[in-house]
Structure formats: structure tokens, C-alpha cells
Amino acid sequence: MLSNELNERLTQVGPGTPMGALLRRYWFPIARTPELDAEPVLAITLLGENLALFRSESGALGLVAQRCPHRGASLAYGIPEDDGLRCPYHGWKFGRGGQCLEQPAEPADSSFKDRIKVPAYPVQELGGLIWAYLGPEPVPLLPRWDILVRDELDRSIGVTHLPCNWLQIMENSMDPIHFEWLHAVYGNYVNKRQGKPAAMTPRKHEEIAFDVFEYGIYKRRLLEGEDPATSEDWLTGHPVIFPYILAVGDHTRPTLQIRVPMDDTHTLHYWYRADLRAPGAPRQTSIPIPEVPYVHRNGRLVVETINGQDMMAWVTQGAVSDRTTERLGTSDKGVILYRNLLLEQMAKVERGEDPMG
Ligand code: FES
Ligand SMILES: [Fe+2]
């Protein structure tokens, strides 16, 4: 159980909040490359900030605050040009660094534009994703995780826009026990309701364990009947890359679940999946970018798939889970460890130090 104050400290991500300051020390994916190929200017919300992502005519990426400083129209509907983005309303033009370059309706000798600048952030492309960094300088290197760069992989990047805070999604990744219940027992119940055979045999978690390492936390599980000397889930486990990525799968089919906090009550969830290309097979020519729905047309949540079951458990906790009324048990030790790690890293940033990773 947390105090309301602590719950807010852990869940609020906007500018000026302690968690916002910690999260601003990491790069986040904000769009998939094929989306920007289809539409060169996109409205983005990241860490409570409304931004316009664009690819200029010359091919360079830019990310600026959405609101035009003239009279507030959205630059997310702007016109990309060679050297920047032009506001659709009265044509003010902004460079990739945010500087106002042109104000077509002002006198030619006016210096007004020199005093106008919008917030602008570094942006890079990697692994089919466009990444943004909203934090202070020096800008860290964008991590080249193997799954993002391995040449022999074909990729697909699904997306779900979830109406809930990012933390309850991440907490699920520190909670191995739910697999036995949500996916096996409940999943079998859902199948039975549909007249389908059970998909899984529920197996008791004999042990769960967590190890903090340089880039995050390894979570490990040992199921009933498994040999601790050979079980991959026990020996290696699944790494949570601090603070917002879960890595699962193996070398031939690695996947990332990437949780991007848009604001306090919305999370952009990427299902980043890669498959080892068969020998001699042609490489993919484009990356599929499916929408992964969390809700059916009739309003009922999707519970017929493992991912759907997870999303149901995240979303039904509410927009921001009320942790003042939760009752944690010993099986929640991973959740507690992760929260404490977040608090530790927030305190580091407050002291002017670099957080982990
Ligand atoms: S509101 Fe953008 S140029 Fe006027
Ligand atoms: Fe799950």
C-alpha cells in the first residue's frame, strides 16, 4: 500500500515531476518509420508534452512543440520544407532546432522572428522506430539493442494505445505469478466458454527471483516439475530493460514490449517482434505495423489472447491504479523491488547524478 503522495511520485510523468525528470534521461520510441513514410508530419504526445514530429523535404527528422507560438495552431498540421516546418495558419517557419526562420506577414526588415523559438528535441531513427530524447544535455547515445540492429532479422511492430498509466503495465513485467493464473487458469476458462480445448496446463511457481543488473532487472521463475539446472526461465530469465522495456523470446524470435508514457493516463505500447530469416529467404521490404486492439467493438475487453489478457489486467486497474488501497503479498516482491529501484533512480537524478543505463 502506498501513500497518495508516493503513488503520484511514481506515476506522474509531466515536465517538472520527479518521475518526469528520471524518464527524460532515456530515449523513447514515438513512431514507427512506415507511419512517417505515409504521413511526414505526426502529432505525438510524450511525457505529457504535445509535439510535432516531421521529416523535412531534405529527409532530416525534427521534433518541435506542437503549439505555434504565434496564435496557437498546431504544427502537427504543418508543411515540411527543406529546412524546417511551416505553420499551416500564417506560415511562420521553424527550423529543426526550433528557431523561427520566417514570418511571411511581418516587414522584411523585422527582427521579431529572431526572438521566437519553440522547444525542439533530438530525434533519431533505429530498427524501424523513430526515437526522441526530451532530457538535458549531454544527450546520451541511443542504445543499439541487438534486436533493433541485427541484420538477419525480419521485424513487425504492433501498437496499442492504452488508456492507463505506464507503471501498472511495467509492474506486470515484475510479476511472474500472474502467468499461472491470468494466462493458464483464466485463459483456459475463456477457451472453455468458447467451446475450445484448454491451451495450457497451469503449473505452480515453485520460486521467483529478481536480479538487478547494469541495465535493469532479470526476472526468473521456476515452475513445478522444472529442473533448476536446465530451466532457461530460471537460469537466464527475462530482462526488464530499465525503465520501460520487457524483453522476451529467444535468439531466433526475440521480442520487446515497449511501454512509452504519453501522459499520466495514456501509454503507447509497442509489440516489437523479430524473426530470424530463413536461410536464403529474401529480406523483408517493409515492416508490418499492425494495430493490436485491446477492446472489442461491443466494448468488452479482448481476453482471448495472452496479450489481450495482459492488457485487460492493466486497463481494469483504472487510468492510474489507486495504490493507496492495494494489499501486496510476498509474491509481489518483484513489484516492490521495481518501485524501489525507480525511487532510488529518481533520487539520483534529484542529486544531479546519472540514473542507471
Ligand atoms: S498560428 Fe502559426 S503562424 Fe499563426
Ligand atoms: Fe502476461
The contacts found for 1-7 with CB under 8 angstroms, 24 or more apart, are 1/323, 1/324, 1/325, 1/326, 1/327, 1/328, 2/323, 2/324, 2/326, 2/339, 3/324, 4/324, 6/323, 7/320, 7/321, 7/322, 7/323, 7/324
DSSP 7-20: HHHHH--STTSHHH
Using CA atoms of 227, 230, 234, 240 in order, give the dihedral in degrees to the nearest 10. Answer: -160
5 domain-assigned: no
Kindly report, residue by residue over 295-306, the tens digit of the pLDDT.
999 999 999 999
CB-based contact 59:82 (threshold 8 Å): no
Is the domain of 64 the same as that of 135? yes
Domain with 175 in it: 149-350
Ligand 1 test: best mutation among 66, 85, 90, most atoms within 8 Å of CB?
A: 90
Give me the percent of the chain exceeding a pLDDT of 90: 97
pLDDT, tens digit (0-9, with 9 covering 90-100), for 194-234: 999 999 999 999 999 999 999 999 999 999 999 999 999 99
The size of the chain, in residues, is: 357
Closest listed ligand to the CA of 85:
1
Residue 34 confidence (pLDDT) above 90: yes
Last residue of a domain, one of 139, 173, 202: 139
Determine the atom of ligand 1 nearest the C-alpha atom of 72: 1
Same-domain pairing of 88 and 179:
no
CA distance linking residue 228 with residue 247, whole number of Å? 21
- Tell me, yes or no, whether 233 lies in a domain: yes
Domain membership of residue 186 (yes or no) is yes
* CATH number for 80: 2.102.10.10
Measure 314 CA to ligand 2 centroid, in angstroms.
10
Which one of the ligands is nearest to 171 CA?
2
Q: Any alpha helices (H) in 120-164, and if so which ranges?
A: 146-149
Give the number of domains in the chain.
2
Rounded Cα distance between 20 and 166, Å, is 12
pLDDT score of 262: 98
In a domain, 238, yes or no: yes
Cell for 195?
Answer: 467451446
Q: Is the domain of 309 the same as that of 241? A: yes
Q: Is the pLDDT of residue 311 over 90?
A: yes
Residue 73: name the closest of 89, 62, 96 by CA: 89
State the distance from the centre of ligand 1 to the C-alpha of 69, rounded, in angstroms: 7
Same-domain check for residues 156 and 93: no
Beta strands in the chain (DSSP E): 27-32, 41-46, 49-55, 61-65, 79-81, 84-86, 93-95, 100-102, 123-126, 129-133, 153-162, 205-213, 216-223, 238-241, 245-248, 255-263, 266-276
What is the pLDDT, as a whole number, of residue 331?
A: 95
**Do 321 and 294 fall within a single domain?**
yes
- 186 Cα–ligand 1 center, Å: 53
Ligand 1 atom with the shortest distance to the CA of 91? 3
98 & 169 share domain: no
**Position in ligand 1 atom list of the atom nearest CA 73:** 1
Q: Which mutation among 66, 75, 92 tests ligand 1's pocket best, with the greatest number of atoms within 8 A of CB?
A: 92
Residue 357 resides in a domain:
no
Nearest ligand, CA 74: 1
71 CA closest ligand 1 atom index? 1
The pLDDT value given to residue 315: 98
Domain-terminating residue out of 116, 139, 162: 139
Same domain, 128 and 267: no
Query: Which ligand 1 atom sits closest to the C-alpha of 92?
Result: 3
pLDDT digits (tens, 9 = 90+) for 3-33: 999 999 999 999 999 999 999 999 999 999 9
Contact (CB, 8 A) for 218 and 210? yes
**CATH code for position 253:** 3.90.380
Q: What residue ranges line ligand 1, CB within 6 angstroms?
A: 68, 70-73, 87, 89-92
pLDDT tier, 314 (very low <50, low <70, confident <90, very high otherwise): very high
Q: 195 and 224 in one domain?
A: yes
The predicted pLDDT at position 258 comes to 98
Position 41 scores a pLDDT of: 98
Nearest ligand by distance to the CA of 314: 2
Q: Whose CA is nearest to atom 3 of ligand 1?
A: 90
Mutate to test the pocket of ligand 1, among 89, 101, 117 (most ligand atoms within 8 A of CB): 89
pLDDT, one tens digit per residue, over 82-110 is: 999 999 999 999 999 999 999 999 999 99
Asked if residue 215 and residue 114 are part of one domain, the reply reads: no
Residues 111 and 214 in one domain: no
Shared domain for 228 and 329, answered yes or no, is yes
Closest ligand to the CA of 312: 2
Nearest to 266 by CA among 24, 74, 36, 30: 30
Average pLDDT of the chain?
A: 97
Q: Has residue 250 got a pLDDT over 90?
A: no
Residue ending a domain, choose from 109, 139, 169: 139
Say if residue 333 is in the same domain as residue 285. yes
Count other Cβ atoms within 10 Å, centred on residue 267. 26
| Inter-residue contact 143 to 356 (CB < 8 Å) | no
Render pLDDT for 148-200 as a digit per residue (tens, 0 to 9).
Answer: 999 999 999 999 999 999 999 999 999 999 999 999 999 999 999 999 999 99
Identify whether 219 is part of a domain: yes
Domain assignment present for 355: no
* Ligand 1, atom 4, residue with closest C-alpha: 90
Atom of ligand 1 nearest to the CA of 103: 3
Rounded to 5°, angle at Cα 341 from 44 and 179:
80
Atom 1 of ligand 1 has which residue's CA nearest to it?
71
Tell me which residue of 99, 102, 138 sits closest to 120, measured CA to CA.
Answer: 99
Q: Can you name the residues that pair with 27 across neighbouring β-strands?
A: 133
Question: Can you tell me the mean pLDDT for 35-51?
Answer: 98
Asked whether residue 21 is assigned to any structural domain, the reply reads no
